């Protein structure tokens, strides 16, 4: 893959570039948001790595422009020293696909890059349709009754996972590991918070044909409550 890196620390840029070039990726690095913006307008990248804090801007400046101008086909991995929850949430809500702290080991970083790269090579994923819901995984878009629903990244990821696993009993730990990752520094209360938000945003109370049912002491089951209809992909 051809990877663009926005990183103002020369040592960190050299380290990341060396790791990526060592597994046959081509890399271009940029020390400022302005230089990065200029390159994005002229050059195609398969994946972007962004330091959250740059001398002339932040990831909060870069990500909306990237999603607004390049769409969702280019994966974005935020790599930064900041690990506070507020920044993580802000990055994911702004459009990052993944978020890692700079202390990340080489092999884990390369595994995350490879995972995002598989999405690029897949050529897109089908639209999942279930009753009043349609989930376009490739465009990161969910609609309810043909109206788009605004979801944070992890809310979208969680909704996709639920719709792909109807009727299954899903423990909190299972959801935490599959949506946030085993190494994520969050607890199961995060799952409950996101479930609560999805229940409200998507009307998962049975009124739209689907219901999120809590299973005491375990987790949740995502159930169809109306007459069965076929699940289709296109």
pLDDT tens column, 87-130: 787 788 788 888 888 778 888 888 888 888 876 665 555 677 88
Other Cβ atoms less than 10 A from the Cβ of 95: the count is 20
CATH number of the domain encompassing residue 106:
3.40.50.2300
- Same domain flag for 105 and 195: no
Looking at 80, 96, 121, the residue that finishes a domain is 121
- Same domain flag for 139 and 229: yes
- Same domain flag for 226 and 211: yes
pLDDT score for 29: 92
| Number of domains present in the structure of the chain | 2
- Same domain flag for 155 and 93: no
As to burial, measured by CB atoms within 10 angstroms (0-12 exposed, 13-18 middle, 19+ buried), residue 55 is exposed
- Same domain flag for 115 and 197: no
Looking at 95, 121, 147, the residue that finishes a domain is 121
Q: Which long-range contacts (CB under 8 A, 24 or more apart) does 97-106 make?
A: 97/153, 102/12, 104/79, 106/19
- Same domain flag for 112 and 150: no
- Same domain flag for 48 and 136: no
Q: What percent of the chain has pLDDT over 90?
A: 24
- Same domain flag for 6 and 104: yes
pLDDT score for 228: 42
- Same domain flag for 80 and 33: yes
Domain that holds residue 168: 127-233
The H or E element containing residue 19 is: helix 10-21
Whole-prediction pTM: 0.53
- Same domain flag for 37 and 98: yes
CATH number of the domain encompassing residue 158:
1.10.10.10
Query: How far is Cα of residue 216 from the mean position of the Cα atoms in its chain?
Result: 29
Distance CA 34, CA 194 (A): 35
pLDDT band at 231 (very low <50, low <70, confident <90, very high): very low
Q: Answer whether 155's CB lies under 8 Å from 202's CB.
A: no
Looking at 88, 121, 154, the residue that finishes a domain is 121
Distance CA 160, CA 135 (A): 7
Q: Answer whether 222's CB lies under 8 Å from 128's CB.
A: no
Please give the backbone phi and psi of residue 120, each rounded to the nearest 5 degrees, phi first: -65, -45
- Same domain flag for 102 and 164: no
Q: Answer whether 7's CB lies under 8 Å from 51's CB.
A: yes
pLDDT score for 197: 92
Q: What is the pLDDT of residues 114-172, one digit of tens each?
A: 888 876 665 555 677 888 898 887 677 899 998 889 888 889 889 988 988 888 899 98
- Same domain flag for 21 and 116: yes
pLDDT score for 64: 85
């Amino acid at each position: 893959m051809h990877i663009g890196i926005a990183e103002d620390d020369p040592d960190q840029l050299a380290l990341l570039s060396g790791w990526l070039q060592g597994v046959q990726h081509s890399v271009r690095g940029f020390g400022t948001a302005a230089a990065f913006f200029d390159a994005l307008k002229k050059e195609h990248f398969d994946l972007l790595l962004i330091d959250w804090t740059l001398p002339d801007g932040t990831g909060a400046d870069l990500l909306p422009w990237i999603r607004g101008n390049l769409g969702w086909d280019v994966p974005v991995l935020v790599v930064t020293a900041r690990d506070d929850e507020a920044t993580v949430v802000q990055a994911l809500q702004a459009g990052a696909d993944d978020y890692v702290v700079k202390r990340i080991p080489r092999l884990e970083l390369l595994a995350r890059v490879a995972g995002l790269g598989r999405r690029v090579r897949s050529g897109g994923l089908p639209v999942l349709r279930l009753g009043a819901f349609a989930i376009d995984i490739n465009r990161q878009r969910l609609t309810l009754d043909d109206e788009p629903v605004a979801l944070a990244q992890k809310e979208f990821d969680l909704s996709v996972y639920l719709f792909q696993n109807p009727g299954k009993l899903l423990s909190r730990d299972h959801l935490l590991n599959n949506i946030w990752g085993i190494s994520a520094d969050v607890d199961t209360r995060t799952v409950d918070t996101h479930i609560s938000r999805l229940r409200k945003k998507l009307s998962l109370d049975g009124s739209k044909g689907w219901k999120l049912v809590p299973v005491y002491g375990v987790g949740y089951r995502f159930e169809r409550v109306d007459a069965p209809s076929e699940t289709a992909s296109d």
